[in-house]
Amino acid sequence: MKLINKNDVRILLFFAVAYALAFFPIFGKIASPEWKYYQSEFRAIATENFDDVDLDTIPTGVQQIWLKELGEVDRCMTCHQGVNWKGLENIEQPWTTHPDPELMKHHPVDEYGCVSCHGGQGLAVTQFAAHGFVKHWEEPILSDIIAADYDPRTPPSLHEINCNQCHRHERSTKGMDLINHGKALVRDKRCNVCHIINGEGGRMGPNLTFEGEKSAEEYDFTNFTGQQLSILSWHISHFKSPPTLVTNSFMPEMNFQTRDAIALSMLVMSWKDNSEIPREYIPGIDLREVQTPEEIEQDRIMREGGGAFFVEHNCFVCHSIKAYQLKSPTDKGPDLSLAPDDVRARFSLTLEEFIFAPTGTMKIILESQILLSKEEKWEAIEKINTAYDIVKNREKEEL
Amino acid sequence: MALLPKKTLLDKLLWSWKPESDREAGHAIVSNFLLHWFPNRVLLKSIAYNYSFYLGTICFTLFMILSVTGAILMFFYTPSVERAYWSIKDIDFVVSFGWFLRRSHRVSAHLMVIAVFLHMFRVFLTGAYKRGTSAGSSREFNWILGVVLFVLTLMLSFTGYLLPWDQLAYWAITVGTNIAASVPLIGNQIRYLMVGGNEIGQNTLIRFYVLHIVVLPAMLLAVSIWHMWRIRKDGGLAISEQERARVKEMKPSQPTKTKTYSLMGVSSGTTVQVFDPTTVNEEKSVPSSPNLVIRILLIVLATCAVTAILSAIFQAPLEEAANPRVTPNPAKAPWYFLGLQELVGYSALIGGVILPGVVVTWLGLIPFIDREKKDIGVWFFRTPELKWAIFGGLYGLIATVAALLLGVLAPMRSLFPTIESQIFFDLVNPATLLFVLVVALYFIVWKLSSSSRYATSATFCAFIICFILLTYTGMALRGPNWDFFWPWQAWPQHPIPF
């Protein structure tokens, strides 16, 4: 009698071989990771470029920087071994020296890591995963590759978003041109009249202090028509034309150029909750920008000057009133100092008639967005007439 | 202890022991567990691949792979809300063989759920849950143990699902525990107990972790050992019942003089007269060793090989870190619960509580509903049962498609816009319709065939088809907002930060 079925032995051997073969790619993948190639190339580059290099000092294996206080682990230098070397400026990635040695003086890799400025997935040790161009990693490396999607000719330096997480409390920071431009626009356009920014400001619009914390799911893309379905392009479109994206939006169109819109979008995206970042990483002592004396005076005039009524009721969003030194951020409408002449010329109405029975844009505004009581309307008429007199008197004096 | 010679410590450690008498040899053999794991001889029919497909062996092998890979993973995983996700990232990126261990663990977990389902289908479709004729046979009890193992397997998989603490895990558990909350009266208490509070957080994670690594595996191991022991006590695989019936009709052969190993050692006497078909009918059986042993080995090896190959090919997914503020759209439960989630879409009470409760109870009661003693251990397609099984399958197909069409084309809330009562919609919805239709099937077939076996078989086949169709719908045809999408329709694109 046969002891063992021959067929069973054959199947057994087949699976034994299959099992063994399965381990070839598995061991292969573990024995020769991507970074081994980059490390051996780096040694070749080092010997080629320097005469006195001691290869024993070049580390091997996975390299990591553990920033305990930032809760961050970066393994980028496993492949990017030349970052801190001098003299490899002309070598290609990933072996090159960091292009900005001045910056690196203030931000040594040992204290700041790489991801905190560049983005990416510092934990990973393969190229695509580490650069964050993989599904389910929402902070890709903010290099020109991504920036070119937003402006192919002059890709914006998107990594400034990350820089500004620490630098948000500074008025302007060396090397952060776009964010600086954004900050200037925010001051110029007086965004804090309507929005709470850095914990202070008006309540007409949403609080923007932690706008950068919002995830993509929290934005309404219903009316969005752009190419890139992303938060950044949502903000860019929104800055260019708020009502297009958010129906019934109150926010005025300010005719921003693409560059302005990108700068502002980057700025609002950088407004993250940085309370987890240790204090010593954050420059700027106050939790808000320091105002210049002119700005403080301007704020006082707006709050307490003759035009305070128009600030309180948001008329100034569109209208300047030069008699009261009130400057509109948008100047969408005519100066209210000359309103009595204006309504007569355009509508053949007196100011009283127009305020109580407006037409055109003002009809919509006064019926839906700025609701004034009868007394308030009389107050407005009186104040506009006073402004008119002031301007006319000034003109006479000048003559 | 004159029976055994004195052993030195080294002898004991190395087991270098030689019997010095026939009695001692007999004693050694009788008391050796490994030699009695399998019966002495097995029927060729029992060890045929195409009878059992060795699905039980596969399940247990997968459980062993899971235990080994899981135990190693425990060295690297931290069950804390802050660290869990990042420790998985480290396992994937820098732990030696970490990605392979995690993939193997995940692949074998999914395979185990599939294998357990298939094992149950096989046992049902061969009528192997029926009591045999050998003394002490109680296959219906072993079937209940099987249903317990089935539930334990699902619970193990479900608890393991939370541990990576990514969006997938967090929201699958949110969906799962919210379904539990729809139990009438005590739903919120059940959810509170599962979650360890009102919110899914550290308490939930540690609860699921302890259940996953200690409580459930220990229970599963104990019950599966019991399950396997019962197979021997029940007289082997059910297919042996046919041979046993034949042996009972045979005339016993003339007793001959022989030496046998008994509990007391080797004794002389005459051959034992038994009903055991393997002993009586030697040309239909073979010695377990090596014939069964090599097949078990082969199945274990094949399972390991398939798991390793699949692990080398398929990545284990890890989504974004869990974020209670952002609900992924759609949020889906693990795949084997997606059939239920589809029904939960119609009514959380019916789909999430009543139906799974009824189905598990019904599965456990199958041997008591169907007590007919025909065709034990015979594949259904070799018996007249075939036409009823086909009828049940087709009926299940039509009923499920009808219920799905009703659910997709005419949602109840739009059919009855004036009614606001939740109880009404819990009672009137496609899930209830499907349930009623399948119950009706049992009675229709019972009436037509006057056989509880045929009625149960038709219902079981309808259940298999329902399960597969609903799972497929939940898995592939439901997109954002749980809207219906055909396989060729693209889902809306998902926005990203940059």
* A280 lies within 8 A of chain B by CB: no
β-partners of residue A74 are A65
pLDDT tens digit sequence for B139-177: 999 999 999 999 999 999 999 999 999 999 999 888 888
Crossing angle for the helix pair B98-125 and B55-73, to the nearest 10 degrees: 160
Question: What integer is the mean pLDDT of A349-363?
Answer: 88
Residue B15 gets which letter from DSSP? T
Q: What pLDDT score does B269 carry?
A: 74
Contact call for B498 and A231, based on CB within 8 A: yes
Residue B81 gets which letter from DSSP? T
Q: Which tokens hold the place of A215?
A: 């995830």
pLDDT tens digit sequence for B168-227: 999 988 888 888 888 888 989 999 999 999 999 999 999 999 999 999 999 999 999 999
Integer Cα distance of B432 and B422 in angstroms = 14
Q: What pLDDT score does B34 carry?
A: 75
Q: What pLDDT score does B261 carry?
A: 64
- The alpha-helical segments, DSSP class H, found in B19-97 are 22-30, 49-52, 55-73, 84-93
Homologous superfamily (CATH) for A160-281: Cytochrome c-like domain (1.10.760.10)
Task: Give Cα A378 to chain centroid, integer Å.
Answer: 44
> How high is the mean pLDDT of chain A?
89
Question: What integer is the mean pLDDT of B337-349?
Answer: 90
Q: Which tokens hold the place of B101?
A: 């261990």
Nearest Cβ partner for A22 among B312, B319, B320: B312
pLDDT surpassing 60 at residue A124: yes
Q: Which residue has the higher pLDDT, B120 or A218?
A: B120
Task: Give Cα B398 to chain centroid, integer Å.
Answer: 27
Strand B265-270 to B257-262 pairing: antiparallel
Integer Cα distance of B125 and B383 in angstroms = 11
Query: What is the amino acid identity at position B147?
Result: V
Contact call for B86 and A123, based on CB within 8 A: yes
The pLDDT > 70 percentage for chain B reads 96
Integer Cα distance of B73 and B32 in angstroms = 34
For B388, what's the count of Cα atoms within 13 Å in the CB-facing half-sphere? 26
Contact call for A140 and B498, based on CB within 8 A: yes
* A125 lies within 8 A of chain B by CB: yes
Contact call for A26 and B100, based on CB within 8 A: yes
pTM for this prediction: 0.83
Task: Give Cα A314 to chain centroid, integer Å.
Answer: 27
Nearest residue on chain B to A127, alpha-carbon basis: B93
Instruction: Using an 8 Å CB-CB cutoff, list chain A residues near B295.
Output: 8
Weakest mean pLDDT among A371-380, B11-20, B116-125, B131-140: B11-20
Contact call for B493 and A229, based on CB within 8 A: yes
Contact call for B301 and A218, based on CB within 8 A: no
Closest CA to B404 of B491, B471, B481, B332: B471
CATH 1.10.3470 fits A305-398, yes or no: no
pLDDT surpassing 60 at residue A59: yes
Unique residue bearing structure tokens 């399998």: B38
Q: What pLDDT score does A287 carry?
A: 55
- The alpha-helical segments, DSSP class H, found in B79-186 are 84-93, 98-125, 139-162, 167-180
> How high is the mean pLDDT of chain B?
89
Q: Give residue B246's pLDDT band: very low, low, confident or very high (50, 70, 90).
A: confident
Nearest Cβ partner for B309 among A22, A125, A138: A22
Nearest Cβ partner for A221 among B93, B309, B495: B495
Give the distance from residue B7's alpha carbon to the nearest chain A alpha carbon, in angstroms.
35
Domains of chain B as residue ranges with CATH: 30-253+287-328 (1.20.810.10), 347-492 (no CATH)
Contact call for B90 and A123, based on CB within 8 A: yes
* A15 lies within 8 A of chain B by CB: yes
The answer to whether A160 touches A270, Cβ cutoff 8 Å, is: yes
Query: What is the amino acid identity at position A220?
Result: D
For B462, what's the count of Cα atoms within 13 Å in the CB-facing half-sphere? 27
Residues of chain A with CATH 1.10.760.10: 160-281
Q: What pLDDT score does A3 carry?
A: 67
Size of chain B in residues: 498
Give the distance from residue A170's alpha carbon to the nearest chain B alpha carbon, in angstroms.
25
Q: Give residue B1's pLDDT band: very low, low, confident or very high (50, 70, 90).
A: very low
Instruction: Using an 8 Å CB-CB cutoff, list chain B residues near A216.
Output: 494-497
Q: Which tokens hold the place of B49?
A: 């691949």
Instruction: Using an 8 Å CB-CB cutoff, list chain A residues near B96.
Output: 30
Non-local (6+) Cβ contacts of B147 within 8 A are B120, B360, B363, B364
Unique residue bearing structure tokens 């993939």: B103
Contact call for B97 and A215, based on CB within 8 A: no
Question: How many contacts (CB atoms, under 8 Å) link A and B?
Answer: 104
The answer to whether B309 touches A20, Cβ cutoff 8 Å, is: no
Contact call for A15 and B325, based on CB within 8 A: no
Q: What pLDDT score does A155 carry?
A: 92
Instruction: Using an 8 Å CB-CB cutoff, list chain B residues near A217.
Output: 326-327, 329, 495
pLDDT tens digit sequence for B64-119: 999 999 999 999 999 999 999 999 999 999 999 999 999 999 999 999 999 999 99
pLDDT tens digit sequence for A71-87: 899 999 999 999 999 88
Unique residue bearing structure tokens 């309808």: B462
pLDDT surpassing 80 at residue B50: yes
Per DSSP, the three-state class of A55 is helix
Q: What pLDDT score does B272 carry?
A: 66
Return the top range by mean pLDDT from A195-199, A243-247, B386-390. Answer: B386-390
Give the distance from residue A279's alpha carbon to the nearest chain B alpha carbon, in angstroms.
21
Q: Which residue has the higher pLDDT, A162 or B278?
A: A162
With 0-12 / 13-18 / 19 or more C-beta atoms within 10 angstroms meaning exposed / middle / buried, residue B359 is middle
Contact call for A125 and B94, based on CB within 8 A: yes
Closest CA to B111 of B168, B57, B174: B57
Integer Cα distance of A250 and A399 in angstroms = 41
pLDDT tens digit sequence for A260-302: 999 999 999 999 988 888 877 887 655 566 788 888 888 888 8
Give the distance from residue B56's alpha carbon to the nearest chain A alpha carbon, in angstroms.
19
* A31 lies within 8 A of chain B by CB: no
Non-local (6+) Cβ contacts of B314 within 8 A are B103, B107
Nearest Cβ partner for B312 among A25, A125, A146: A25
Nearest Cβ partner for A11 among B96, B298, B494: B298
Q: Which tokens hold the place of A276?
A: 């987890």
Q: What pLDDT score does B413 carry?
A: 79
* B284 lies within 8 A of chain A by CB: no
Q: What is the DSSP string of A110-135?
A: HHHTTHHHH-S-TT--SHHHHHT-ST
Instruction: Using an 8 Å CB-CB cutoff, list chain B residues near A137.
Output: 320
Contact call for B495 and A234, based on CB within 8 A: yes
Give the distance from residue B85's alpha carbon to the nearest chain A alpha carbon, in angstroms.
12
Compute φ and ψ for A306, nearest 5 degrees: -60, -25
* A37 lies within 8 A of chain B by CB: no
Chain B segment 314-373 residues within 8 A of A by beta carbon are 317-320, 323, 325-327, 329
Contact call for A15 and B298, based on CB within 8 A: yes
Instruction: Using an 8 Å CB-CB cutoff, list chain A residues near B495.
Output: 216-217, 219, 221, 229-231, 234
Q: Which tokens hold the place of B54?
A: 């060795």
pLDDT tens digit sequence for A134-191: 888 989 999 988 999 998 899 999 999 999 999 988 889 999 999 999 999 999 999 9
The rounded radius of gyration (Å) of the Cα atoms in chain B is 27
Q: Which tokens hold the place of A63?
A: 């390299």
Q: Which tokens hold the place of A375?
A: 């007394």
Nearest Cβ partner for A19 among B90, B97, B301: B301
* B44 lies within 8 A of chain A by CB: no
Instruction: Using an 8 Å CB-CB cutoff, list chain A residues near B58.
Output: none
Instruction: Using an 8 Å CB-CB cutoff, list chain B residues near A73.
Output: 86
- The alpha-helical segments, DSSP class H, found in chain A are 6-31, 34-49, 101-106, 109-112, 115-118, 127-131, 144-147, 160-167, 177-188, 231-240, 242-245, 258-270, 293-304, 308-312, 339-347, 351-356, 360-364, 374-398
Closest CA to B498 of A177, A142, A240, A242: A142
* A140 lies within 8 A of chain B by CB: yes
Nearest residue on chain B to A140, alpha-carbon basis: B498
Q: What pLDDT score does B39 carry?
A: 86
* A225 lies within 8 A of chain B by CB: no
- Residue of B93, B95, B101, B494 to mutate when probing chain A, most A C-beta within 10 A: B93
pLDDT surpassing 70 at residue B16: no
